[in-house]
Structure 1
């Protein structure tokens, strides 16, 4: 049986890292669009997108902050656009799914459960005078009080609201319990096969970034979903490239990007998203696998097609 090609997802900016942490982190409309296009050119077939306030780089779920860059990306590349539904740790599910409801992308992310979600240790790397913008310090330092909320009711509301749009979810599973949540949701008909699972490792509040945990999560998903799922791996921070490489050799897909790690190698900041995509593509191909094109990713994941989005 021929080996399935490897899908590379690139998460361009996210909602964790702040402008102080890296000059490469995009937050203006132009920078988000340019880095997305560069990542696609480097080999990413899926672009996972958040929006930012272009004045100070703070995370945004305002559709007015998506509208300036989404059409530019669509016009310049055939890469699949994936819009986050987790762009804020404090807003309601209705607010968080509004960009996906408005723009009807081919894909969007969906956290498969509530969890502690913190990145407050990052604040210890900077003095009070280091921060570029006033909002950054407290945003990072106070994340130790955050609960990312996605209850079963929240998940159902998101699934029901977005069902008419035929959007494929990137089911983000931060721990093994999230796989069982997803199985329950499959059993009651919220999602249809083939589902796409993003195993996430290394976020404080979720499962740790050890290879043993990847094997355990994969084995559990095999038991729960059989042939009805496709999978990818996101390793946060320093785990990014190691876990992506391991996943690719296990037959999985991979996710990189400045949302997940600001670095290209130990202690060295990445110059941009495209550098991370180029690196993992080189690794995947050097180890004997082929990288999927956007249309091949659409076929593998059973997506609706780029002609059915609303941007």
Structure 2
């Protein structure tokens, strides 16, 4: 039932996007030129952001007691990231666990790191959205016409603060809990608050850079650079919804529909549609470049390990 509901939502999102694209084409509202040099540069920046994500994941592994060399962690993430385009939207996570196993990371530990990454990234996205609502009160497309949604931001920040406080207090509370509940929560407290806060800070920076990429794409379409708070918030919301809906490979259709709804009041329907499609192109190119670079890194790491093995023989 849940999967069916997700499929219906994905189909509805794609239909929404197709409807707006058709309307923009009929009205002649699509931008007539694209700065492809800037678009390519932004795709390269997106690839660098992915590499930073690899460092962040390596940070979690190190916090769990199994540190990997930085380049190894980056290589694993870049190679596995291409799996998000497989049906189910979990292929990149499964692939990352499998690749980590090849480098000696226990499966249970890799799963715990991936789970922690998902939870902390979602929490970071919520925090980014809350801050964005405070600094971009004109998010008409996101808030359904609410003129001053700052109170929503304060409410989300308050709830997120309670979650963070709970994470900090959890290690002290777990030993006093019943055995069955304690076993369920032992993994959650394995990541120290310091590691979690460092991850959130770095991940928040990545969302800001990705928001900047969205703004840069608006410039590539001949539009003025939108407020960074707005681009970052809309990207974070689109990322969350695209990730949470199973069956949407890479959030396909869902993220584009939300970006169109968010940017249409600011840029107009045609440029908003073009922006969402151009962002998808940039992310696909960035993921592709990341896969190639990650594969080259993996080959280099493998050759160095083989050379080290030959010298030790």
Q: TM-score, normalised by structure 2?
A: 0.29
Work out which of the two has the higher radius of gyration on C-alpha atoms and give 1 or 2. 2
Q: TM-score, normalised by structure 1?
A: 0.29
Give the structure with the larger strand fraction: 1
